[in-house]
């Protein structure tokens, strides 16, 4: 090990107090491989960011699957297959290491759309810049959601190969390229009989994440995630039977109905006047209230969080109702939501264009909580619109899925807690992620496994400009890329040691 690598490894040991030091002292080959593979790992991530798969635009759909398959082969998966579906293909891979335990991995390789004009660095470049209070970060679309954390896992597997070692667990990898549009075809991949059989051998499934807070390095384990419906509400003069069949001169508004105002009226029936509470007929019929244990977990989480830091990261000054943090976190975990992602009608270019639009579209997402289901809520939305006089408005569902839940006493969650504890990372357990991922396909029948997010490191800006992942940390409490890699190596060991 040369001097540069020794210094780097020493820094890792200081940052990652227990596992990093343990690996350096007890498994020098793996620790050396992580340090030596740093530059290659970052290049791998930058190259991946340079190839965006954007399902909503049909961009790099086949190319993204092919690239994911190649990454899996390079990582040492012996069997790698591109899996066709009725829509976007995915990837399935297995790695048999002769181990007693098997871990499932979920990767998404698609990303959200982006406008380069909104970014401080080109979104597909993967530029590394210094960020005050953090260290060196890599900016790029997909940096934290989810190519960066997934690249940490790939780096861990590359370290095993470089050290001439096998991971202590077998791996089953399932990947998709349309999570960002609600994973409409992913169940076809997971429920294919041979893939389902491979997954059922696992102790659980994890989606790699960069889960540490930027200040104290604390991490949170979510026991589930909200479900989601993504859809468009489309109002047209032709379908309504009122308003213009094509755009008119705006002077005709004196005598012609407006599909745009018709859509606005429909949207107003979905929520309370402030937009903060769904009022769709029957929407709360199946909603399960928070249990006493969930409320206790939230209270513990609130005590460990810094509200000012939360607001600063989000770029907000107030939470709804200016409620105490515990109440805010209860809403975050238990509140179904109706959100307008986008609202488009008529002319939106420079200057004005005096028309009466014939068509108006609202892009919506609905976050669902236990025991709501995607299909039941879509049916209730359509019934509500019809009942309130808006049955002409088309509901075009583009994706979505049910909520997911995992038992906090499951072996998978215990292994996550044990790994964070070995690293000296302050950890809290939270009932469910306010966001969504298709974990339900793993936690529900016929797979019926524990599933959740896990990982070290830090990133921010998912779906937003200047999305980033921390590469070299200036904060000893927050792990950089190599420290996060060592953390995942330790997680594999924790899974292997499960009784």
Would you say 473 and 217 are in contact if contact means Cβ atoms under 8 Å apart? no
β-bridge partners, 54: 59
Cα separation, 232 vs 73, whole angstroms? 38
pLDDT tens by residue, 448-487: 999 999 999 999 999 999 999 999 999 989 999 999 999 9
Does the pLDDT value for residue 494 go beyond 80?
Answer: yes
Q: Between vectors from CA 48 to CA 44 and to CA 51, what angle results, nearest 5°?
A: 150
Closest CA to 436 of 398, 402, 475: 402
CB 200 within 8 A of CB 449: yes
Q: Within its chain, how far is the Cα of 330 from the centroid?
A: 20
- On whether the CB atoms of residues 165 and 175 are closer than 8 A, the answer is no
Q: What is the Cα–Cα distance from 177 to 373, expressed in whole angstroms?
A: 23
The share of the chain scoring above pLDDT 70, in percent, equals 95
> What contacts 348, CB < 8 A, 6 or more positions away?
none
Q: Rounded to whole angstroms, how far apart are CA atoms 360 and 262?
A: 9
Residue 231 pairs in a beta bridge with 364, 397
pLDDT for the residue 7: 44
Q: What is the pLDDT of residue 26?
A: 52
Q: How far apart are CA 51 and CA 58, in angstroms?
A: 13
Q: Please give the Cα distance from 330 to 407 (Å, whole number).
A: 19
CB-neighbour burial class of residue 48 (10 A; exposed 0-12, middle 13-18, buried 19+): buried
Q: How far apart are the first and last CA of the chain?
A: 36
User: Quick one: pLDDT at residue 313?
Assistant: 82
SS3 (DSSP) at 223: coil
DSSP letter for each residue of 234-257: EEEHHHHTSS-SS-EEGGGGGTS-
Give SS3 for 75.
Answer: helix
Give residue-wise pLDDT tens across range 134-184: 999 999 999 999 999 999 999 999 999 999 999 999 999 999 999 999 999
Per-residue model confidence (pLDDT) at position 306: 87
Closest listed residue to residue 149, CA positions, set 218, 63, 48, 39: 48
Instruction: Specify whether the CB–CB gap between 402 and 368 falls below 8 A.
Output: yes
CA distance 65 to 81: 10
| pLDDT tens profile 75-131 | 999 999 999 999 999 999 999 999 999 999 999 999 999 999 999 999 999 999 999
> Hey, which residues does 383 pair with through a beta bridge?
none
Percent of the chain surpassing pLDDT 90: 89
Which residues does 305 contact at the CB level (< 8 Å), separation at least 6?
218, 325, 329
Question: When comparing pLDDT for 25 and 428, which is higher?
Answer: 428
Q: What is the pTM of this model?
A: 0.89
pLDDT per residue over 302-317, tens digit each? 998 889 988 988 889 9
**What per-residue confidence (pLDDT) applies to 25?**
46
- The span from the CA of 276 to the CA of 106, in Å, is 33
CB-based contacts of 389: which residues, under 8 Å, 6+ apart? none
Paired tokens of 233: 């509400």
Closest CA to 146 of 209, 220, 228, 221: 209
């Amino acid at each position: 090990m040369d001097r540069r690598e020794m210094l780097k490894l020493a820094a890792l040991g200081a940052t990652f107090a227990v596992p990093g030091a343990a690996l350096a002292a007890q498994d020098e080959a793996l620790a050396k491989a992580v340090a030596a593979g740093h530059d290659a790992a970052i290049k791998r991530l930058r190259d991946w960011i340079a190839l965006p798969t954007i399902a909503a635009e049909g961009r790099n759909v086949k190319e993204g699957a092919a690239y994911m398959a190649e990454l899996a082969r390079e990582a040492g998966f012996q069997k790698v297959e591109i899996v066709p579906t009725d829509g976007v293909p995915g990837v399935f891979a297995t790695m048999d290491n002769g181990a007693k335990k098997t871990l499932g991995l979920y990767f998404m390789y698609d990303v959200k759309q982006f406008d380069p004009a909104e970014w401080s660095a080109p979104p597909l470049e993967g530029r590394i810049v210094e960020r005050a209070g953090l260290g060196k970060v890599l900016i790029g679309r997909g940096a934290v959601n989810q190519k960066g954390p997934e690249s940490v896992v790939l780096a861990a597997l590359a370290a095993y190969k470089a050290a001439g070692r096998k991971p202590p667990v077998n791996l089953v990898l399932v990947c998709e390229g349309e999570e960002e549009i609600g994973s409409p075809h992913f169940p076809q991949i997971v429920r294919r009989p041979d893939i389902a059989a491979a997954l059922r051998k696992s102790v659980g499934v994890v989606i790699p994440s960069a889960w540490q807070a930027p200040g104290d390095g604390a991490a949170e384990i979510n026991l589930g995630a909200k479900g989601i419906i993504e859809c468009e509400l489309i109002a047209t003069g032709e379908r309504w039977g009122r308003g213009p069949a094509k755009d008119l001169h705006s002077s005709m508004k004196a005598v012609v109905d407006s599909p745009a105002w018709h859509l606005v009226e429909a949207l107003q029936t979905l929520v309370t006047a402030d937009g903060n509470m769904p009022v769709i007929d029957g929407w709360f019929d199946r909603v399960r209230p928070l249990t006493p244990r969930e409320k206790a977990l939230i209270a513990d989480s609130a005590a460990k969080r810094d509200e000012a830091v939360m607001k600063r990261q989000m770029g907000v000054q107030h939470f709804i109702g200016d409620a105490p943090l515990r109440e805010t976190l209860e809403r975050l975990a238990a509140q179904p939501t109706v959100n307008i992602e986008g609202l488009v009608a008529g002319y939106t270019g420079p200057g004005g264009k005096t028309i009466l639009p014939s068509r108006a579209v609202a892009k919506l997402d609905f976050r669902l909580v236990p025991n709501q289901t995607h299909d039941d809520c879509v049916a209730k939305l359509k019934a509500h619109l019809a009942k309130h006089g808006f049955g002409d408005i088309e509901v075009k569902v583009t994706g979505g899925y049910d909520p997911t839940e995992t038992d906090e006493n499951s072996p998978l969650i215990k292994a996550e807690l044990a790994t964070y504890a070995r690293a000296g990372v302050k950890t809290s357990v939270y009932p469910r992620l306010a966001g969504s991922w298709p974990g339900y396909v793993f936690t529900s029948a016929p797979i019926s496994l524990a599933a959740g997010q896990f990982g070290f490191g830090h990133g921010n800006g998912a779906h937003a400009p200047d999305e980033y992942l921390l590469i070299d940390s200036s904060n000893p409490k927050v792990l950089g890329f190599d420290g996060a890699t060592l953390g995942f190596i330790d997680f594999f060991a924790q899974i292997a040691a499960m009784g």
